[in-house]
Chains A and B, each alone.
Chain A
Amino acid sequence: MEAEPLAVDVDRIMEDVRDRAARRRGLDPQPRATDLYLLRRHADVYHVALRARRPVVGPLVVALRRAVRRVLAPFLGAQVAYNLAGLRVLESLDDEAAALVRREAALRATVAMQAEALAALRRDVDALVRRERELRAAIGARG
Chain B
Amino acid sequence: MRVAFVVQRYGAEVCGGAEAYARRLAEHMARHWELEVWTTCATDHLTWRNDYVAGETVVENVRVRRFPVDVPRDPVRFAALTRRVFGAGHEEAEELAWVDAQGPRSTALVEHVRTQGAAVDLFVFFTYLFWPTFFGLRAAPRPSILVPTAHDEPPIHLAVYRDLFRRPAGFAFNSVEERDFVNRCFGTEDVPQDVIGLGVDEPAGVDPARFLARHPELADADLVVACGRIEPAKGCWSLFNHFLRLRAELPDRALKLVLVGASAVEVPSHPDVIPVGFVDERDKQDALAAARVVVLPSPYESLSLVALEAWGVGTPVLANGACDVLRGQCRRSQGGLWYESYAEFREALTLLLDVDELRARLGRAGRAYVRRMYAWDVVEAKHLALARRVLEGRPVRAVRGSDPS
Contacts and interface: CB of A to CB of B under 8 A. Distances in A.
B331 interface: yes
Interface stretch (B117-125, B295-303, B336-344): B336-344
B82 to A, nearest CB: 24
Contacts of B334: 3-4, 7-10
Interface in A68-126: 115, 119, 122-123, 125-126
Interface string B336-369: 1111010110111001000000100110110011
Interface string B64-94: 0000000000000000000000000000000
B365 A8 contact: yes
B186 A122 contact: yes
A8 B331 contact: no
A25 interface: yes
Contacts of B344: 17-18, 21
A22 interface: yes
Given A4-B368, A8-B358, A122-B186, A17 B332 contact: no
Task: Report the contact-size class of chain B (Cβ under 8 Å from the partner).
Answer: 20 to 34
Interface in B240-275: none
A9 B348 CA distance: 14
A122 B186 CA distance: 7
A22 B347 CA distance: 10
A6 B337 contact: no
Interface string B311-353: 0000000000000000000111110111101011011100100
Contacts of B336: 10
Contacts of A25: 341, 343
Interface residues of A, number: 25
Contacts of A123: 187
A3 B338 contact: no
Given A3-B365, A17-B347, A119 B337 contact: no
A24 interface: yes
B187 A126 contact: yes
Nearest to A18: B344
Nearest to B351: A17
Contact of A1 (B184, B332, B338, B341): B332
A6 B368 CA distance: 11
B187 A14 contact: no
Report which residue of A10, A24, A119 has the largest number of chain B beta carbons within 10 angstroms of its beta carbon. A10
A13 interface: yes
Given A4-B365, A24-B343, A119-B184, 7 more contacts: A6-B361, A8-B362, A10-B330, A10-B337, A14-B337, A17-B337, A24-B346
11 contacts: A1-B373, A3-B334, A4-B368, A7-B362, A8-B358, A8-B362, A10-B331, A21-B346, A24-B347, A25-B341, A25-B343
Interface of A: 1, 3-4, 6-11, 13-14, 17-18, 20-22, 24-25, 115, 119, 122-123, 125-126, 129
Interface of B: 166, 184-187, 330-334, 336-339, 341, 343-344, 346-348, 351, 358, 361-362, 364-365, 368-369, 373
